[in-house]
Amino acid sequence: MRIGCPDAPGDHEHKGQEMASRQELAAALGQVALPDGATLASKDMLRAVSLSADGVASFVIEAETADAARLLEPVRAEAQRVAEALPGVTRVSAMLTAHGPAPAAAKPAPSGEKGAPPSLKIGRHPKPQADTPSKPSGVDRILAIGSGKGGVGKSTVSSNLAVALARQGRRVGLLDADIYGPSQPRMMGVNKRPASPDGKIIEPLTAHGVTLMSIGFMLDPDQAVVWRGPMLMGALQQMLGQVRWGELDVLIVDLPPGTGDVQLTLCQRSQVTGAIVVSTPQDVALLDARKALDMFGKLNTPVLGMIENMSTYICPECGHEAHLFGHGGVAEEAHRLDLPFLGALPLELETRLAGDGGTPIALGDGPAAQAYATLAKRLVDGGMA
């Protein structure tokens, strides 16, 4: 896909310096052999091959399943070595991802059979709770990631920020509180039911150094959640209070879009350190982001800042920069409201592929990973995470 490209050749031209072209990079990578004797090109496994003007080569190797991807690490390493050997290449970002979902979790044994896990029902009505907001035992800070509308990349930001913070040495938990549309199991590459030794305490899962809990682990992925407000509130209460989170520096809560029951329950019943609002720069998204900001204000939840997602698109063919959703609108809104502007995140194909494959882009070292690392460092340095 070439968006906003000037009428120029796709290859990078470098006067006075010999450099491989993008086509030469793709051809060299395509010859890398697979364990079965085929090549990356013959199996059509290369995605998002690009070579920037300053010599940064990046590409994604896409396998059929998560299990197959894990077995291809030697192939990824060989492809990286091949790219590094090309003239003019200064750095290589090589990622593995999977096209298909992770294997389905094994169904629990029927109640009463040997080895059957204790019954744990999610979605009960909330239990009476003290008027004073609280935090799960061992959790230092709770950071809510919200948005006024869906489709702005809030869950992508949540998973990648959690990974980026973990890479900086923080003890991080990620709670997927988007009850109707849980996406963190797919984005974090985990798909199994958490254990419960007594039918009350829930043992969270871990992925990429992050402690993880989602309603998606407890339900059939194809099953719709058709719940009224009290059941939503009860589920959130269970995932906060019954999960053995352990010692965490920060618990990131991926909120559903909008300004509904989950947001209200979290902010009124938990000691939320602060909220971050994610928006794209387009006017329609900002209209709804303002509603989210107003909601947090009415709930007396500090807003720690705003993030502009899908801010810039760099064409992998020619390096042309395009602003598909506008540019700078979130920064202007943050300035108008006297809120910190925490950063702008690019729109990249690699980010989507990484999320779909369960390997967040923040695990790599490309431009998007560096943007998340910078965001995480700013939160840590500011005492927010």
User: Which range of residues forms the domain containing residue 68?
Assistant: 22-98
**pLDDT one-digit tens code per residue, 249-308:** 999 999 988 877 888 889 988 999 999 999 988 777 788 889 899 999 999 999 999 999
Q: Cβ distance 68 to 103 under 8 Å? A: no
Q: Does residue 224 have a pLDDT over 70?
A: no
Q: Are residues 155 and 297 in the same domain?
A: yes
Domain edge (last residue) among 44, 72, 98: 98
Q: Strand pairing of 91-98 and 248-254?
A: unpaired
**Which tokens is 324 given?**
């598909």
> Comparing C-alpha atoms, which of 283, 303, 326, 7 is closest to residue 149?
283
Residue 203 counted as domain residue: yes
Same domain, 357 and 292: yes
Pick from 145-149, 157-161, 184-188: least confident: 145-149
**In a domain? residue 186:** yes
Is beta strand 274-279 parallel, antiparallel or unpaired with respect to 248-254?
unpaired
Shared domain for 278 and 144, answered yes or no, is yes
Instruction: Tell me: do 69 and 169 sit in the same domain.
Output: no
Same-domain check for residues 303 and 172? yes
CATH code assigned at 80: 3.30.300.130
User: Residues 263, 373: one domain?
Assistant: yes
Residue after which a domain boundary falls, among 98, 131, 148: 98
Residue 199 located in a structural domain: yes
Q: How far is CA 366 from the centre of its chain?
A: 15
Q: 250, 240 in Cβ contact below 8 A?
A: no
Instruction: Please check whether residues 317 and 220 belong to one and the same domain.
Output: yes
Tens of pLDDT along 170-221? Answer: 999 999 998 888 899 999 999 888 888 877 788 999 999 999 999 888 776 6
The tokens for 223 are 């099953």
Residue 129 located in a structural domain: no
User: Is the domain of 85 the same as that of 170?
Assistant: no
CATH code: domain of residue 165: 3.40.50.300
Range of weakest confidence among 67-71, 145-149, 220-224, 287-291: 220-224
Q: Among 47, 76, 98, give the residue marking a domain's end.
A: 98
What is the number of domains present in the chain?
2
> Is residue 214 one of the residues assigned to a domain?
yes
Residues 312 and 178 in one domain: yes
Residues 28 and 161 in one domain: no
Q: Is it the case that residue 9 has pLDDT exceeding 60? A: no
Distance (Å, whole) CA 189 – CA 183: 10
Tell whether 188 and 314 lie within a shared domain.
yes
Phi first, then psi, for residue 29 (nearest 5°) are -65, -35
Residue 12 is assigned to a structural domain of this protein: no
pLDDT value for 253: 96
Are both 161 and 300 inside the same structural domain?
yes
